[in-house]
Structure formats: structure tokens, C-alpha cells
Amino acid sequence: AQSVTQLGSHVSVSEGALVLLRCNYSSSVPPYLFWYVQYPNQGLQLLLKYTTGATLVKGINGFEAEFKKSETSFHLTKPSAHMSDAAEYFCAVSESDSWGKLQFGAGTQVVVTP
């Protein structure tokens, strides 16, 4: 069975600074990995996903994430934070042989300060 751990329930970054959100997973088979963003009072929106192929994945809004199998990690980064990046971010994993089930992390709330 898969599981996801997001380090840090709250992250505060200055506008223009690097955004780094950490995600570690456990999976007994090759995983599919996802990052979602949730703005207040809205549903979730996919930022990016890794299934196979290139381990550095680029997503929307300038975000990217790198799949590191040896570290079982899928950290999300953005070089320069914008005020509009304030939201809650969720890492999720599903297993490639049972991709109906999706496991989410507990989420990281990002606050961007001027």
C-alpha cells in the first residue's frame, strides 16, 4: 500500500523567494506522483504529475518537481514566489498497478509575504 508524507503543514515564503515543498512517499511498485493546489473555497487543480519518463516534471504556474527514486521523494519547487501562490498544496501517489486508488498527503499551507 502506498503512503505520502508532506513535511511541514505551513510554509511562509517571501515574495520572490524560492518555494520548496517536500513530499516523500512509500510504494511497493512504481508510483504515479501528483501535486495539486487548492485555493480557498475551491476544488483541487492539478499542478503536475509524474508517471514514467523524464524525472523532472514541469507544471503550470512555473512549478516543477523532480522524482527521485533513491530518496522516494517528489519535492515541488518554484524559483520565485508570487502572491498568487498562496494556497494549500497536496502531494498524492497512486500505484501503477492499481491506479484507481489515490493517496493524498496532509497538505502544506503556503503563505507568501510581501
Partner 1 sequence: EAQVTQNPRYLITVTGKKLTVTCSQNMNHEYMSWYRQDPGLGLRQIYYSMNVEVTDKGDVPEGYKVSRKEKRNFPLILESPSPNQTSLYFCASTPTGTASNQPQHFGDGTRLSIL
Binding interface with partner 1 (CB under 8 A): 4, 6, 9, 32, 34, 41-46, 49, 51, 90, 92, 94, 96, 99-107
Distance CA(74)–CA(29), nearest Å, equals: 15
Nearer to partner 1, 20 or 60 (CB): 60
Quick one: 4 or 19, whose CB is closer to partner 1?
Answer: 4
CB 11 within 8 A of CB 85: no
Please, which residue, 62 or 107, has the CB nearer to partner 1? 107
Of the pair 59, 62, the CB lying nearest partner 1 is at 59
Q: Are 52 and 66 in contact (CB under 8 A)?
A: no
Closest to 80 in 3D by CA, of 59, 105, 62: 62
Residues forming a β-bridge with 39: none
- In the complex, least distance from residue 114 CB atom to partner 1, rounded to whole angstroms: 27
Write down the least CB distance from residue 7 to partner 1, Å: 13
Label residues 71-104 b or e (16+ Cβ within 10 Å = b): eebbbbebeebeeebbbbbbbbbbbeeeeeeebe
* Closest approach of partner 1 to the CB of residue 99, in Å: 4
- Minimal distance in Å, beta carbon 62 to partner 1? 17
